Amino acid sequence: MSDYSFPYKDAAFLINDVLDFDQMCLDAGKEDVNAEFAAAVLEEAGRLGSEVLAPLNSIGDELGAKLEEDGVHETPGFADAYRQYVDMGWASLSGDEEYGGQAMPRLLAAAVVEIWDTANLAFSLCPLLTTGAIESIVAHGSDELKNTYLPNMISGEWAGSMCLTESAAGSDLAAVACKAVPEGDHYLITGQKIFITWGDHQMTENIIHLVLARLPDAPAGVRGISLFLVPKFLLDENGQPGKRNDAYCVGIEHKLGIHASPTCTLNFGDNDGAVGYLVGEPHNGLMAMFTMMNEARQGVGIQSLGVSERSYQQALAYAKERLQGTRSDGSRYPIIEFPDVRRMLMVMKAATEAMRGLIYIAAAEGDRESAAKTPEEKHRSATRTGLYTPIVKGWITELSQEITYLGTQVHGGMGYIEETGSAQYYRDARVLTIYEGTTGIQGLDLAGRKILGDNGEALQGLLDEIQATAQDLSGVDNLSAMAATLKQAVESGGQARAWLLENAKQDRNVAGAASVNLMMLLGFLCGGWVMGSIGT
Ligand SMILES: Cc1cc2nc3c(=O)[nH]c(=O)nc-3n(C[C@H](O)[C@H](O)[C@H](O)COP(=O)(O)OP(=O)(O)OC[C@H]3O[C@@H](n4cnc5c(N)ncnc54)[C@H](O)[C@@H]3O)c2cc1C
């Protein structure tokens, strides 16, 4: 079953009524962008999503990608779909205007990305990684690198990949062993990267790999890692893909889900050395990569929302059709009439709406940061985005496991059978808590950098805001019960904050042991806040 429709009404309500998109656009000096325009954009994206990308979802799952003599070949139909995606201008939606992008607000871009993710998670990974690579080059690349690579990456003509992981360096990037040796105006990269998403394919003329490697004089640990731009094809004198660079895919993984997204082992420099160009300062590659990871972490949150929405829509449709109850007159009725099935569907619906709300709020904070008029405003928004990022990545990806599990459960035995598609969502979702930093790493980021790092100040600001929403809710008819629960939850959040600040001083294991539970607590608290904000 490939039918799905984007929840336009829910998205529009959040974008316009909760987040006041028109005002946001005016504040950002984008007078030509408004709610009406956003609705038209979403409708058009929804068409490509439901008519082109969604029908390829189960085909991609069944056929996957294949490694052949001349490299990785994506699932048949994907290249054509990608061409349409590029030709319609979707790739450049949020790109920098200076390099040909349309510079649309992050909030609108997040809603559009949700459509790709809901339609076809494996496909959407390719643009996700390209966007992350673009952000990194924009933030850290030299003018020459920007002018040479960004226009084609932003237009989608060239894709990007993110090459961090090695067999001995997963969560612990301090162990990165790939090497980079200076040679004239470039570097020669050698070593192997594993698990590289869309590390090779035929959908674009070139692939721009961003690779972490060590210079010969690099200090040990994370402070000795540099970032390099390594194109699949070196550019000729006209700036077009020419000679093949020495970076090849030597294997693709067989895996639980997202079969259409090739997960590649890439060998750099087996022959003459792969030509690479330094991005940012030497030994400062991890900082540059963090720009990409933060973007990608929020992106994985959107993926979790997308697959949850799809799982919910399919479960709802099935529950309306599947007859399992028999009335006294012998007529049969559908399973949606059973309270427990409705419980599962309502959990799915409520959780998905809360996920969407938090993701859009986080995206809007990014817009606020860009439009900030003073350094203080900018700092405040950047800090808040920093706080949201591990919650969006950690809590939402974990929640998507439960939602896709319930989607399968609603189908009963048919959920376990591949034909319905429900099992695919469950399998596809499983990686979301693993890549772009596992849940454990998100918990550490939240407890360590984002809470202990500023003595809990940013978190206190968020708790105060949630408390104010709870206060507003208590004055709304029929919502006082929700207000009381939210107040209680803010109190728990405050206690958890105080406990962490107090106990982490005595024992550094404390933060590590409690961090994931704390992240989940704050995630549910934010989810309740979002639902409450919608209520007011
Ligand atoms: C399908 C897929 C696609 C991927 N795509 C890419 C890609 O495009 N580019 C790329 O570079 N990588 C990619 N990865 C790699 C991915 O980012 C890593 O798998 C992930 O970072 C975890 O590393 P690891 O697998 O080595 O697990 P490990 O680091 O060995 O972790 C194992 C367990 O230990 C825990 N753990 C490890 N360190 C800590 C710590 N300090 N504190 C608490 N717990 C800890 C983890 O949470 C986890 O539960 C991909 C992986 C997959 C499966």
Predicted pLDDT at 1: 43
Cβ of 438 below 6 Å from ligand 1: yes
- Using a pLDDT cut of 70, give the percent of the chain over it: 100
What are the phi and psi torsion angles at 434 (to 5°)?
A: -105, -55
CA triple 236-237-243, angle to 5 deg: 15
**Atom 24 of ligand 1: nearest residue by CA position:** 170
Determine the distance separating the centroid of ligand 1 and the alpha carbon of 165, expressed in angstroms.
8
What Å distances lie between residue 319 and 6, 287, 302, 415, 417, CA to CA? 19, 48, 25, 12, 16
CA triple 238-244-247, angle to 5 deg: 130
pLDDT digits (tens, 9 = 90+) for 35-48: 999 999 999 999 99
Task: Give the distance, in angstroms, between the CA of residue 334 and the centroid of all CA atoms in the same chain.
Answer: 36
Cβ of 518 below 6 Å from ligand 1: no
Cβ of 509 below 6 Å from ligand 1: no
Helix (H) or strand (E) run with residue 195 in it:
strand 186-197
| Count of other CB atoms within 10 angstroms of residue 186 | 18
Cβ of 163 below 6 Å from ligand 1: yes
Determine the distance separating the centroid of ligand 1 and the alpha carbon of 263, expressed in angstroms.
13
Cβ of 435 below 6 Å from ligand 1: yes
AA letter at 248: Y
- Distance separating alpha carbons of residues 521 and 466, to the nearest angstrom: 14
Out of 165, 172, 200, 397, give the residue to mutate to test ligand 1, the one with the largest number of ligand atoms within 8 Å of its CB: 165
Determine if the pTM surpasses 0.95: yes
What is the DSSP secondary structure assignment for residue 408, as one 8-state letter? H
Cβ of 171 below 6 Å from ligand 1: yes
- Distance separating alpha carbons of residues 536 and 516, to the nearest angstrom: 30
What Å distances lie between residue 317 and 4, 16, 312, 330, 411, CA to CA? 10, 28, 9, 23, 10
Is 347 in a helix, a strand, or coil? helix
Is 185 in a helix, a strand, or coil? coil
What is the DSSP secondary structure assignment for residue 55, as one 8-state letter? G
Determine the distance separating the centroid of ligand 1 and the alpha carbon of 213, expressed in angstroms.
18
Out of 129, 212, 434, 516, give the residue to mutate to test ligand 1, the one with the largest number of ligand atoms within 8 Å of its CB: 434
Determine the distance separating the centroid of ligand 1 and the alpha carbon of 162, expressed in angstroms.
13
Residue in 166, 295, 369, 436 annotated catalytic: 436
By the 8 A CB rule, do 228 and 180 touch? yes
Which is the closest atom of ligand 1 to the Cα of 258?
A: 1
pLDDT digits (tens, 9 = 90+) for 487-522: 999 999 999 999 999 999 889 899 999 999 999 999
CA triple 390-155-263, angle to 5 deg: 50
Cβ of 198 below 6 Å from ligand 1: no
Which residues of the chain are under the pLDDT cut of 70? 1-2
436 noted as active-site residue = yes
By the 8 A CB rule, do 387 and 462 touch? yes
- Distance separating alpha carbons of residues 112 and 185, to the nearest angstrom: 39
What Å distances lie between residue 432 and 100, 118, 280, 427, 459, CA to CA? 31, 14, 29, 10, 25
Predicted pLDDT at 288: 84
